[in-house]
Amino acid sequence: MSINLKLIGYNWNDYNIILESKYFTLLGIYDFMIEKGIELNHLHLIKFIINGETIKDINKKYEIDDNIITNIYIFSQDKNIRDIISSKIFQNIDISTDNTITIQQTVDDLDSITKEDRHIINQQIIEQFKDPDFKKLFEICITKPYLLGIVNNYISNGNITGNIHIINETDDFHYMDTYNEIEKLGFSLNNTILLKSIITHFEGSINLTIRYILLKNLMTDTSNLL
């Protein structure tokens, strides 16, 4: 079993971690980061994101599926910390060699789970199926998996710039074509001025505007930035 670490904002190869059990915890990742030279007082400034959820409980067990690549996205608002993570973990990866590392986990192996526990886990997964958005995402995984790669490219290669200057309603807006295209994605439903401000900041770039919105959503743990 393994997980892939991805550093948001940097175009490095993934860092693959081999697990000794079918679970991982945030505490285990912390141990790995410290072993690689990341200072303990920096850990609370680093976000670890899995399936759009920021991991907060250091002891929560995340089950690993052998048939699915589990990606954990790493992000910090502090550029110095991001650069430290980049240099100490990702920058020196040699793609011609095996760059795996084993993390010991103090959690029970899945094989030891009782039938009753397995039934509970199945029921929790079934509950996710009731979410229509989850069904849509699952359908995309099957019918158009390449779209996930495109979205992942926005997240993996994006970066957060400085603060966005909020324009006034009376200010001239010169990027209506860009606004109309992005509006089709539903990004302007709640805050038209904010969307126009982001577009203005990126001088009408659709690519950079969408990338900013996606990354900002991951950072703020919200389902709708706008």
Angle between helices 132-143 and 145-157 (to 10 degrees): 100
Element (H, E) at 103: strand 100-103
d(CA 158, CA 211): 6
CA torsion sign, 39 to 42 to 43 to 49? negative
Residue 98 has a pLDDT of 46
Question: Where does 2-112 sit in CATH, by number?
Answer: 3.10.20.90
Residue 223 has a pLDDT of 45
Q: Which range (12-16, 87-91, 127-131, 185-189) has the least confidence?
A: 185-189
| Mean confidence (pLDDT) of the chain | 76
Q: Confidence band (pLDDT; 50, 70, 90) for 147?
A: confident
Residue 42 has a pLDDT of 86
Q: What are phi and psi of 130, to 5 degrees?
A: -75, -15
CATH 3.10.20.90 residue ranges of the chain are 2-112
Question: Is residue 163 scored above 70 in pLDDT?
Answer: yes
Residue 222 has a pLDDT of 42
d(CA 150, CA 145): 9
Residue 107 has a pLDDT of 45
Q: Confidence band (pLDDT; 50, 70, 90) for 161?
A: low
Residue 105 has a pLDDT of 45
Q: Which range is most confident: 99-108, 114-123, 171-180, 185-194?
A: 171-180
Share of residues in the chain with pLDDT > 70 (%)? 77
Whole-angstrom Cα Rg for the chain? 20
Q: Confidence band (pLDDT; 50, 70, 90) for 34?
A: confident
Residue 193 has a pLDDT of 85
**Which residues are paired to 72 by β-bridges?**
5
Q: Each residue of 39-75: pLDDT tens digit? A: 888 888 899 988 878 888 888 888 887 777 788 889 8
Residue 106 has a pLDDT of 43
Q: Each residue of 87-131: pLDDT tens digit? A: 888 875 544 444 444 544 444 445 555 677 667 767 777 887 788
